[in-house]
Amino acid sequence: MAIQLANQKDTVVERETTRLAPPPMYQVVLLNDDYTPMEFVVAVLQRVFNKTELEAERIMLKVHHEGRGICGIFPRDIAATRVEIVRQLAVAREHPLQCIMEPAPES
Please check whether residue 17 lies inside any domain of the structure. no
Average pLDDT, the chain: 91
When comparing pLDDT for 8 and 22, which is higher? 22
Q: What is the pLDDT of residues 60-71, one digit of tens each?
A: 999 999 999 999
Instruction: Give the CATH number for residue 40.
Output: 3.30.1390.10
CB within 8 A of 96, min separation 6: which ones? 33, 35, 36, 90
Identify the pLDDT of residue 57. Answer: 98
Please check whether residue 4 lies inside any domain of the structure. no
pLDDT (average), residues 6-20:
73
Identify the pLDDT of residue 13. Answer: 73
Identify the pLDDT of residue 9. Answer: 62
Please check whether residue 27 lies inside any domain of the structure. yes
Using the predicted structure, report yes or no on whether residue 10 has a pLDDT greater than 70.
no
When comparing pLDDT for 20 and 31, which is higher? 31
Please check whether residue 99 lies inside any domain of the structure. yes
pLDDT (average), residues 75-95:
98
Using the predicted structure, report yes or no on whether residue 79 has a pLDDT greater than 60.
yes
3-state secondary structure the chain: CEEECCCCCCEEECCCCCCCCCCCEEEEEEECCCCCCHHHHHHHHHHHHCCCHHHHHHHHHHHHHHCEEEEEEEEHHHHHHHHHHHHHHHHHCCCCCEEEEEECCCC
pLDDT band per the 50, 70, 90 thresholds, residue 104: very high
